[in-house]
Chain A
Amino acid sequence: MTTNRDTATSAFDTDELVINMGPQHPSTHGVLRLVLRLDGERVIDMDVVIGYLHRGVEKLTEQRDYTQIVLLTDRMDYVAAASNNLGYVETVEKLMSLEVPKRAQYIRTVLAELQRIASHLVWLGTHAMDIGAVTVFLYCLRERELVLDLFEEYCGARLTYNAMRVGGLPMDLSTGWEAKVRAFCDLLPGKIDDYETLLTNNRIWLERTKDVGVISGADATAIGLTGPALRASGVRRDVRKDEPYAAYKDFDFEVPLGTRGDTYDRYTVRLIEMRQSVRIVQQALDGMPDGPVMGKVPRLIKPPAGETYHAIESPKGELGYFIVSDGQSLSPYRLRVRPPSLCNLQALPQLARGHLVADVVALIGTIDIVLGEVDR
């Protein structure tokens, strides 16, 4: 298809060059390995080699009881641990048909949205740094630090929170925490404006992201892209809207959509999502109900025999958990995670074909993967 034309445009006939990008490479975001076949600097084809961070999380869960597994989910998408917690506990609650108090639902939503902001900040920073704007990276991490402080104050941890329990939350909010979250929500939009000043209308940024890695809505659906990457191609699919969980149906927010499905659209979609997250957090704080944060949960969590699948909208996309319980043991019979990073990573070769090496770097950034989640 395009390969013919692309090879003809490069001036010199060199041999096809096969280079290994990673697993030790500054911009593969961890231990991703890409085997690139290059013609000059143009990517003809690419193999994605994963598994360098495989720790057997899914198998490990079969040896842990249901409460302990929350801790394992922290270690999958380690830049969005709270979302992983949320997806898991909700799945178990669904399997056991547990009722979760309203206050816990609201706090969970606040935590998930703060986590989305933190995750998107890491994404924006690394993405910008891959394209050469190092300063944005440090600015983003500065704001992420504030989110981490909030999490630290809530649950004591800064990265792997273990912040949720089956049936509710381990503890209520500390006094003054809400005010700090509100202060952060007031601060963040201005900071996002700052990032946009550095990037959105920057000619170089536009040239580097516009029309790079274009994927149509149909193709994106076919290959299983999820989350902001899918919505940037114009497909309206957001678990928060389509199958509301936690307290999302109480809040008013917009799901941003892209039109062209290129790197720039994915960039703008995520930026708008951050602003929408701020809105959700503010609404949740305004409507925060009183009451307990832990529902009625049996002392031993032992779901009845059966299986269930439940998905949430993690920062990366649709994060699903599938749990099979045999009704006797205290551990799942089988737990399977549908990681959005892995699904998005599948699109990388298709996005990169025909582009230059420099674009591969931008594309790894734009699909927003975390290798901990890809390999599990």
Chain B
Amino acid sequence: MGTAIAFYILAALILTGGVLVITAKSAVHSVVWLVGTIIAIAALYVVQHAEFLAVIQVLVYAGGIVVLYLFVVMLVNLKRPAEAIVHPQRRERTGLLLGGALLAQFAAVAFYAFNSPQVGTAATYSARGNVEAVARALYVEYLVPFEVASVLLLVAMVGAIVLARRDA
């Protein structure tokens, strides 16, 4: 019951936030809605007993990545509206249609999923918090991917610095 209420409220928040992100006129407003959506998703993770992931979501996504977006939006100080020019070959309706088609497809899949066996709450697989479980998985089972991810981040960092340097 409690889960259901939380789910519906959060789902409403997430979807509204998502729609506002892509419809907002000003990019700064978009960023604000993105933050809202991400925090709502973090709350959703808490409902799903993924507390560690929820905190990381807020810390890394909301506190880090989206701040980067905000910085760039504020630095890119456009002299004319960002979307003033439309390419003649742009087909917005087709885009919407494709999105709708994808949603329909997903809906079909979800329809099947509704009939799949129901799973109880997840408290069983992480008795005392799930930090330990996640850490074990991350550092034991997925150690190599973890290291690869860190190399990826390093490369991305170097790349971003090279791109952003003015005298490059």
Instruction: Report A's interface with B, CB cutoff 8 A.
Output: 7-8, 10-15
- In the complex, identify which listed stretch (B119-127, B143-151, B159-167) lies at the interface while the others stay far away: B159-167
User: Are A12 and B167 in contact (CB-based, < 8 A)?
Assistant: no
User: Are A12 and B164 in contact (CB-based, < 8 A)?
Assistant: yes
- Give me 14 A-to-B residue pairs in the complex whose CB atoms sit less than 8 angstroms apart, sorted by A's number: A7-B166, A8-B166, A8-B167, A10-B166, A11-B164, A11-B165, A11-B166, A12-B75, A12-B164, A13-B75, A13-B166, A14-B75, A14-B77, A15-B77
In Å, the complex CA distance between A11 and B167 comes to 10
Name which residue of chain B comes closest to A15, CB basis. B77
| CB neighbours of A12 from chain B (8 A) | 75, 164
Name which residue of chain B comes closest to A10, CB basis. B166
| CB neighbours of A7 from chain B (8 A) | 166
Q: Which of A10, A12, A14 has the most B CB atoms < 10 Å from its CB? A: A12
| CB neighbours of A8 from chain B (8 A) | 166-167
| CB neighbours of B167 from chain A (8 A) | 8
- B124-168: contact bitstring with A at CB < 8 Å (1 yes, 0 no)? 000000000000000000000000000000000000000011110
| CB neighbours of B166 from chain A (8 A) | 7-8, 10-11, 13
- Rounded to whole Å, the gap between the CB of A140 and the closest CB of chain B is 40
Q: Which of the four size classes fits the interface of chain B? A: under 10
Instruction: Report B's interface with A, CB cutoff 8 A.
Output: 75, 77, 164-167
In Å, the complex CA distance between A8 and B164 comes to 11
- Rounded to whole Å, the gap between the CB of A169 and the closest CB of chain B is 63
| CB neighbours of B164 from chain A (8 A) | 11-12
- Rounded to whole Å, the gap between the CB of A197 and the closest CB of chain B is 41
In Å, the complex CA distance between A234 and B77 comes to 46
In Å, the complex CA distance between A335 and B94 comes to 82
Name which residue of chain A comes closest to B167, CB basis. A8
Name which residue of chain B comes closest to A4, CB basis. B167
| CB neighbours of A15 from chain B (8 A) | 77
| CB neighbours of A11 from chain B (8 A) | 164-166
- Rounded to whole Å, the gap between the CB of A177 and the closest CB of chain B is 62
In Å, the complex CA distance between A193 and B167 comes to 48
Name which residue of chain B comes closest to A11, CB basis. B164
Other A-B pairs, 6, CB within 8 Å; known A7-B166, A12-B75, A13-B166 = A8-B166, A8-B167, A10-B166, A11-B164, A14-B77, A15-B77
In Å, the complex CA distance between A9 and B166 comes to 8
Q: Which 3 A-B pairs have the closest CB atoms?
A: A8-B167, A12-B75, A13-B166
- Rounded to whole Å, the gap between the CB of A13 and the closest CB of chain B is 6
- Rounded to whole Å, the gap between the CB of B73 and the closest CB of chain A is 12
- Rounded to whole Å, the gap between the CB of A33 and the closest CB of chain B is 25
In Å, the complex CA distance between A10 and B75 comes to 13
| CB neighbours of A14 from chain B (8 A) | 75, 77
In Å, the complex CA distance between A10 and B164 comes to 10
Name which residue of chain A comes closest to B72, CB basis. A12
In Å, the complex CA distance between A8 and B165 comes to 8
In Å, the complex CA distance between A11 and B71 comes to 12
| CB neighbours of B77 from chain A (8 A) | 14-15
Name which residue of chain B comes closest to A8, CB basis. B167
Name which residue of chain B comes closest to A13, CB basis. B166
- Rounded to whole Å, the gap between the CB of B41 and the closest CB of chain A is 30
- Rounded to whole Å, the gap between the CB of A38 and the closest CB of chain B is 13
- Rounded to whole Å, the gap between the CB of B72 and the closest CB of chain A is 9
In Å, the complex CA distance between A12 and B167 comes to 11
In Å, the complex CA distance between A11 and B77 comes to 15
In Å, the complex CA distance between A234 and B132 comes to 66
Name which residue of chain A comes closest to B79, CB basis. A15
In Å, the complex CA distance between A41 and B75 comes to 13
| CB neighbours of B75 from chain A (8 A) | 12-14
- Rounded to whole Å, the gap between the CB of A11 and the closest CB of chain B is 6
In Å, the complex CA distance between A13 and B77 comes to 10
In Å, the complex CA distance between A15 and B77 comes to 8
Name which residue of chain A comes closest to B164, CB basis. A11
- Rounded to whole Å, the gap between the CB of A5 and the closest CB of chain B is 10
In Å, the complex CA distance between A10 and B165 comes to 8
